[in-house]
Structure 1
């Protein structure tokens, strides 16, 4: 289920009776799963009907998040664009530089509607340090991070490599773990403006519309007061942001109509 315009109603996924049951079941499994994993792992459950503050159960302290904290930027974007059934073994970094390997499994109700996201985050920095110590003891130089070596050392074999935090300095990480909605909003807005490559003071209308388009695709409008925050950052009025959203929707609808006409021709 994908919703195109959300400034007036941030809730995207409605709670169902089956969804309620699934949330209860998986909430009770978070701790047992966490205890079965290495101490460097964390298990998190998100209730998608509570987005953006969707975290309802957590075991472990890898990212330092607690119940009531918001979704990551990646989960928020998928909530708008559509969830894959699973993202397994993707790599990212924490703000302090620690490297994680993460997996996210989407839980659906009997109707196939996404209900929850069960996430496992493992800090592989410790395993990298152990590997480097072992190599040093064997008279070999410590090597740079290697996805293959990390997987073997940490006994993690991902089925699918979706993203990598082993990127150049300054590159956007695959996923950002935040502890409050304001931090998440600021991160999304800052990145969207930076990506446009033009200071706000010098932006023309087309630049600002593109920023709003990017933020819409990233799920920014799932956050309450999103319109106000974006308007302030772009130095325009709330009314202007609503106009931009209407223009984006009209442009997208026109593009869809054109594609359909081309296919018929």
Structure 2
């Protein structure tokens, strides 16, 4: 765990204890993206465990229209256990201003939706979902974070000794995490792996089962 993140452990515990059994708080170390989860308070909400990787950082945090001041609040996703989760995520920077981690709050909406359905049965008009597609073009700060993520995923690997299957697994991991949703990511990954854009596209097709 990055030293700065240790100070957020009591914060995570305080939040989950304040909001009770339906609230889970996790701390991510983004200097180690493939095993970014370094602490979880009340992991029963989504099943989060230490050693797992991030899921929503790019798609629902960095690329969200709501992303401002290093934070995206109140986005909703469905956990693997089928629960609807309201989540808020805030980036954590070191003293140099570099993004090193993320604090995420996940709240189980199951009871809230049950109460909503019960209440809506008494109301004359149907509720309307105001959710909108998040398709913002990332700003320069977001691109810097993406570049750092790519660098952290690739680091500590001897690129000269990577075999084709190793590169494909790296590309698959990045694809699953949403890296290639970001405009220009193909070029950045190609440069990081010392490969051509054509090769990256080829590996991406294979990772997605298109070849």
Which TM-score applies when normalising by structure 2?
Answer: 0.56
The match for 2:50 among 61, 67, 75 is 67
Counterparts of 1:227 and 1:133 in 2: how far apart (Å)? 51
- Give the CA RMSD over aligned residues: 4.3
Higher helix share: 1
Residue 90 of structure 1 corresponds to which residue in structure 2? 75
SS at match of 2:50: coil
Residue 21 of structure 2 corresponds to which residue in structure 1? 39
Structure 1 residues 65 and 43, CA gap change in structure 2 (3 angstroms): same
1:220 Cα deviation from its structure 2 partner = 11
- Equivalenced residue count is 155
Structure 1 residues 115 and 242, CA gap change in structure 2 (3 angstroms): closer
Residue 51 of structure 1 corresponds to which residue in structure 2? 33
Instruction: Please tell me whether the aligned partners of residues 60 and 75 of structure 2 are also in contact (alpha carbons under 8 angstroms).
Output: no
Residue 89 of structure 2 corresponds to which residue in structure 1? 104
Counterparts of 2:123 and 2:62 in 1: how far apart (Å)? 48
Instruction: Please tell me whether the aligned partners of residues 87 and 104 of structure 2 are also in contact (alpha carbons under 8 angstroms).
Output: yes
Residue 246 of structure 1 corresponds to which residue in structure 2? 195
Instruction: Please tell me whether the aligned partners of residues 220 and 226 of structure 1 are also in contact (alpha carbons under 8 angstroms).
Output: no
Residue deviations 1:17-63 (CA, integer Å, cap 9, x gap): xx51x211002321111111243221110011222101111112221
Counterparts of 1:93 and 1:115 in 2: how far apart (Å)? 26
Counterparts of 1:103 and 1:69 in 2: how far apart (Å)? 18
Structure 1 residues 71 and 127, CA gap change in structure 2 (3 angstroms): same
Structure 1 residues 110 and 133, CA gap change in structure 2 (3 angstroms): same
Structure 1 runs not aligned, ≥5 long:
1-14, 149-160, 165-215, 233-240, 250-265
Structure 2 runs not aligned, ≥5 long:
136-146, 158-164, 173-188, 199-211
Residue 23 of structure 1 corresponds to which residue in structure 2? 5
Greater Rg by CA: 1
Which TM-score applies when normalising by structure 1?
Answer: 0.46
Counterparts of 2:130 and 2:60 in 1: how far apart (Å)? 25
